[in-house]
Structure 1
């Protein structure tokens, strides 16, 4: 008498169906997660810009000018180096964007903070002491005076 061997397990077709379903989930999830991570980093940059703006206002309250504000640039995350840098923040004189606020020729009446993303799919942002808040995904459109036009992708934040 022959014994019937009952096999248990999955067929190759069943395994391929599972792999295809997992691949579809991954194809949807990874881009969504990357966008979420970009938004989180951009939000962190906005918070840091606003923190620096508060420090600049405190400096002006004590010194009657923005001149000699010692921080001219920062990186995000704070203290990051190399490829870990997500944003580079730069503070300039609002009347002459070629000058740092530490420069002797700076007027110190206005300031501009620019945050440039290391990820070309994320926003470059600008905040000025005159109230301009804008962002643009094209870094070349953002200087220390504007973010370009809305036709070029400029948005308020």
Structure 2
């Protein structure tokens, strides 16, 4: 065995070398996983914004045909499933707070609210009167954005 070169005789890895590789992989994972989670959170929030804007267009189209929003039903439109992202989207009469197709709706204004159970993500509010805001806490009603942590979008 004296004539065999050293690099051929030692074919395995030492425990120290393996531990260094494990530490490097752990550091990369500690950086990548939170970044990916934040990216996914922003992506779901963007989906909720897009869905709300799409519904706003459908509401305005409905009003152009019927002269008010009363009777607008989400069953005639394709509302995004909450299984694709963790948001619950609700459309109500902004004056009364009831569904536009329910009795008691005035039909002159609307409000769309998208809420989530994820405390690190935003809840959204969009109204026909021009309110457009997001907040990490829940909204009290449909007429304002709240006082703490509210931002426009």
Common topology (TM > 0.5): yes
TM range, smaller chain = 0.7 to 0.9
Alignment correspondent of 1:111: 110
TM-score (norm 1): 0.86
Between Structure 1 and Structure 2, whose CA radius of gyration is higher?
2
Counterpart Cα distance in 2 of 1:49 and 1:75: 12
Could you say what secondary structure the match of 2:92 adopts?
strand
User: Which segments of structure 1 move beyond 4 Å, counting only runs of 4 or more?
Assistant: none
The residue that corresponds to 1:91 in the other structure is 91
Give the C-alpha shift of residue 75 in structure 1.
9.5
User: Distance in 1 between the 2:123 and 2:66 partners?
Assistant: 30
Q: Please point out which of 143, 146, 150 is paired with 1:145.
A: 143
**Residue 79 (structure 1) aligns with:** 81
Please, which runs of 5 or more residues in structure 2 have no aligned partner?
A: none
Q: 1:13-92 maps to which residues of 2 (within 5 A)?
A: 13-71=16-74, 78-81=80-83, 85-92=85-92
Alignment partner, residue 121 of structure 2: 122
Match of 2:151 among 137, 151, 155: 155
* Aligned residues: CA RMSD: 2.1
Corresponding pairs, count: 147
Shift of 1:119: 1.9
Query: Which ranges of structure 1 fall in alignment gaps of 5 or more residues?
Result: none
